[in-house]
């Protein structure tokens, strides 16, 4: 059974710093992995999608990497800004054997201090 873990559960850093959020999963047989952000009381915003055959994806100041063999993905945020404060969720989509189910991490709550 696939399990997705995000560490740390919460992170507070000064504005301007580069930071890394971690996501690990137990079953490497995945279809894709997606990073989202969720602002308080709001829905989810898709940030990056990495297919199982890809190693990384970039969008602006965000870079997500995927290492299937070790069951890890990282979300790198460069030059953090207060507007980056949110909860970041990692979701792993399983393969056909698991009916392509989407399994969620519990999230990392990020606070960027001005």
Partner 1 sequence: GAVVSQHPSWVICKSGTSVKIECRSLDFQATTMFWYRQFPKQSLMLMATSNEGSKATYEQGVEKDKFLINHASLTLSTLTVTSAHPEDSSFYICSANPGGIYNEQFFGPGTRLTVL
Site stretch for partner 1 (CB under 8 A), options 13-21, 63-71, 73-81, 85-93? 85-93
Show the tokens assigned to 18: 């580069």
Give, in degrees to the nearest 5, the angle at Cα 12 between 42 and 93: 50
β partners of residue 105: none
Among 1, 14, 41, 114, binds partner 1 (CB under 8 A): 41
Place of tokens 């399994």: 103
Show the tokens assigned to 72: 């890890």
Q: How far is the CB of 10 from partner 1 (least distance, A)?
A: 10
Residues that bind partner 1 (CB under 8 A): 31-32, 34, 36, 41-46, 49, 89, 91, 93, 100, 102, 104-107
């Amino acid at each position: 059974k696939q399990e997705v873990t995000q560490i740390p559960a919460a992170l507070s850093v000064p504005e301007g710093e580069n930071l890394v959020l971690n996501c690990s999963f137990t079953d490497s047989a995945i279809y894709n992995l997606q990073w989202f952000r969720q602002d308080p009381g709001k829905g989810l915003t898709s940030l990056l999608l990495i297919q199982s055959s890809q190693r990384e994806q970039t969008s602006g100041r965000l870079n997500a990497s995927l290492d299937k063999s070790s069951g890890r993905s990282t979300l790198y945020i460069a030059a953090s800004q207060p507007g980056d404060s949110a909860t970041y969720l990692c979701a792993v989509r399983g393969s056909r054997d698991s009916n392509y189910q989407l399994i969620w991490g519990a999230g990392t709550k990020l606070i960027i201090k001005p």
